[in-house]
Chain A
Amino acid sequence: DAGVIQSPRHEVTEMGQEVTLRCKPISGHDYLFWYRQTMMRGLELLIYFNNNVPIDDSGMPEDRFSAKMPNASFSTLKIQPSEPRDSAVYFCASSPGTAFNYGYTFGSGTRLTVV
């Protein structure tokens, strides 16, 4: 398996533009998580899905952020409109279950810069 695949690796956009980040989880993993990494807050959970259904989106910072998982092999995180404070590295992770001896498998992340 190729692991969790995120695209793009880097995104530079102007303030006010729409940004879409993409994630393909590991096949067979029922859970998908979106995290954001910043210096101040470390790895912050934004939202997670179980069997394509959003379970907890309490970490989504504002209504400008939205996430979807239309099927078991694809998820998107959208920011509209983007702002400079959204600049961060965004990670997607997947897991086969909630037994934490599994841990999560993370993608390589998308570095977003909003200018």
Chain B
Amino acid sequence: DQQVKQNSPSLSVQEGRISILNCDYTNSMFDYFLWYKKYPAEGPTFLISISSIKDKNEDGRFTVFLNKSAKHLSLHIVPSQPGDSAVYFCAASDTDKLIFGTGTRLQVFP
């Protein structure tokens, strides 16, 4: 009964290319979506968010797209850099708590 799903456990991208990480959710009442980035032996850190009233939010190299009808969001990283190699978690807000997905491990190679 995973409400937030990241179906790709891993992704490998060449430096300079675009990385696209995907996330699906089941609850149409979610009103805010976030992406977190996690390096080994560290806690997740907030990366970017989007409200359900928007379909796009951009912050530098990072853009999040929201498709409410499909209950799908994606994170685009352009251009990808080796320092972007990490685990990325998608999260959705449910009242006053966040529901996280299982994560996608991104590896950016030279």
A positions within 8 Å CB-CB of B: 4, 31, 33, 35, 39-45, 48, 50, 55-56, 91, 93, 98, 100-101, 103-109
Check if A42 sits within 8 Å of B100, measured CB to CB. yes
Q: Determine the distance from Cα of A39 to Cα of B87 in the docked complex, in whole angstroms.
A: 12
CA distance A103 to B43 in the complex (A): 13
Q: Could you say which residues of chain A place their CB within 8 Å of the CB of B98? A: 33, 45, 100, 104
User: Contacts A42-B6, A91-B43 given: A100-B100 contact, CB under 8 Å?
Assistant: no
Interface residue? B89 (CB, 8 A) = yes
Q: List 5 additional contacts besides A91-B43, A107-B43; criterion CB under 8 Å.
A: A43-B91, A50-B96, A104-B98, A106-B45, A108-B41
Q: Using Cβ atoms and an 8 Å threshold, which residues of chain B touch A93? A: 43
Chain B residues near A4: list those with CB within 8 A: 43
Partner of B100, one of A40, A43, A55, A103: A43
A108 touches B102 (CB 8 A): no
Q: Which of B2, B45, B93, B103 has a CB less than 8 Å from the CB of A100? A: B93
Minimal beta-carbon separation of B59 from chain A (angstroms): 12
Q: Is the CB of B103 within 8 A of A43?
A: yes
Q: What does DSSP make chain A's interface, helix, strand, loop or mixed?
A: strand
How far, in whole Å, are A4 and B46 apart by their CA atoms in the complex? 14
Task: Compute how far the CA of A93 lies from the CA of B89 in the bound complex, rounded to whole angstroms.
Answer: 15
B44 touches A91 (CB 8 A): yes
Determine the chain A residues whose CB is within 8 A of the CB of B32 once the complex forms: 100
Asked whether A35 lies within 8 Å of B100 as measured between CB atoms, the reply is: yes
Given contacts A41-B2, A41-B102, A42-B6, contact A48 B97 (CB under 8 A): yes
Assembled-state Cα–Cα distance A83/B96 (Å): 31
**Contact A31–B96 (Cβ < 8 Å):** yes
